[in-house]
Structure formats: structure tokens, C-alpha cells
Amino acid sequence: MKKFLKIAEIIAWILLAGGLGTLVGFTNNEHNLIICRQYSINIDWGTADVLVTKDDIYNVVKQTGQPLKGQSIGYIDAERIESTLKKQPYITNANVFITIDGKVVIDVTQSQPVLRIFNQKGESFYLDALGHLLPLNPAFSARVIVANGFIDEPYSRKADYLQDSIKMKDSLEFHSVVNHLLKLSLYIQKDQFLKALIEQIYVDKNGEIELIPRIGNQTILFGNVENIPEKFNRLKVFYLMGLNKTGWNKYNVINIKFKNQVIGTKL
């Protein structure tokens, strides 16, 4: 009798599981037949200027063969759309999902340019906060610091200068001019005074850096990218305590290359 009851219990569970499977399958089929009547595109531009619009995003979606509106959601490949969006140069991240009522939601995070580079090959491109090289956008421009001079690294290299993956023991990475510019520009971006002050970075033939401020007629000799906080702290003191008293046009050159020194000269 106990054996019979055990067999009956097993059969009941099998029938219940089969019924649930059929119900789930029927529900999924019903859901897949829902027509997409609405979609939303949300862009997180962060603190950067707009480089990608909702129209740009939708045009990329259409290129995947997914018109969205009027299409059964069973035919909408959210993973394909998401993967395609993530390959776009101005997009750092994308998340695409379909709600239970058939609405397609596209969330996009825009890249954050921190520097515009003009290299010796006549190329111009952006460098973003993650160290990625970005092409220029003919429709929009980012108001960021400009870097020029003796920069020979090409845009076509398409390297990912990821800040968290730079290996200082690797001599090729360590001597990368673009990596040095990234390190410097990220520091400037985080400091409101420096962000308002510095307009241009120039790399001389020896690989040393000169900074051009937005105000005054000075050239700031920065040297290499070692001791960045200490150099900028001295520069701030000189601007706030020195130039405020002597006048902003007293010096043409401000040299902060050497430790514990700020040398102002009039040419």
C-alpha cells in the first residue's frame, strides 16, 4: 500500500510539472505575440557635452533590422540590439529589456571625453575618461582640454588605454604619451580650479608638458607627469597668493617642473 501511494505521488508530481510546463509555454507564446506599441530611449550623458542623441540610438537599432514599433516582441532581439549599441564609439554601456506589457526600454551611458588630441599625423580625436580613443562627431563637439605638439601615437592604433590596466613595469605603456596625457587630464578634470584654468596641453620635442591657461598670457612649464598633485598645489598657491598681488601679466613663464619651486620669469 505504501509503495502504491509513493508511485501515485510521483505520478502526481510528474503531471503537475507537465501541466506547469504547458502553462508556462502557453504564457510565453501569448507574451511573444504582444505587439510593441511603445519604446523609450534613456541616455545618461554624465557631465559631458552631448555626443549622441536619441535619434542616433534609434538609427543604430533600425540598422539591426529591429524597427520596434508594430513588431511582435517575440521577434525583437534585445541581446542583439544591446550588443550592437555597446560597439558604438560614443557609448560606454547599454541595457535593453522588454517589459511585461511589451514596451522596449533602452538605457544608454555616453562616453565621457576628457581630452581632444591633435597628433603629428594631422589626426584629431577624443580620449575618454576610461582611456578609449573616440572619433570626432561632425554634428557635436565636446568642450574639453586640447592637447597638441609632439604626439606621434595615431588614432588608427585603436588601443584601449584603460587606466586600470596600465602596467607601469611595461616600458611601452609607461612611455606612452597618450597615457601621460590621460593621467594629467583626469587629474585636472577632478579639480574645479584647474578645470577652469587649463585650456591646452602642449607636448614639446623632449616629451615634456607645457600648460596654457585660459586667462593671462603665461605658459606653465610642467615637465613630466610625476608628482602631479604636488606641482599643481604649488601652482595654485602661486596663482592665489602671488599673481593676485603682483598682477596676472607680470610673468610670461611659470616654471613648476622642479621640486619645491615656482619660478616666474618675464620674457
* pTM of the entire predicted model: 0.76
* In-domain check, residue 191: yes
Last residue of a domain, one of 82, 110, 138: 110
Domain count, the chain: 2
Q: What is the pLDDT of residues 33-64, one digit of tens each?
A: 688 788 999 999 998 899 999 999 999 998 88
Terminal alpha carbon distance of the chain: 108
Per-residue pLDDT, averaged over 232-238, amounts to 90
Q: Domain containing 70 — which CATH number?
A: 3.10.20
User: Which has the closest alpha carbon to 223: 233, 235, 231?
Assistant: 231
pLDDT score of 118: 96
Summarize pLDDT for 189-222 with one digit per residue, the tens.
Answer: 999 999 999 999 999 999 999 999 988 788 999 9
Give the least confident one: 101-115, 171-185, 197-211. Answer: 171-185
User: Tell me, what's the pLDDT at 13?
Assistant: 52
Range of the domain at 75: 39-110
Greatest distance between any 2 Cα atoms in the chain: 108
CATH number of the domain that 148 lies in?
Answer: 3.40.50.11690
- For residue 14, being part of any structural domain is answered with no
pLDDT on residue 138: 86
Helix, strand, or coil (residue 67) = coil
Task: Among 110, 131, 146, give the residue marking a domain's end.
Answer: 110
The torsion of the CA quartet 201, 139, 111, 93, rounded to 10 degrees, works out to -170
Of 56, 77, 110, the last residue of a domain is 110
pLDDT digits (tens, 9 = 90+) for 114-134: 999 999 999 999 999 988 889
Q: What is the mean pLDDT of residues 100-113?
A: 92
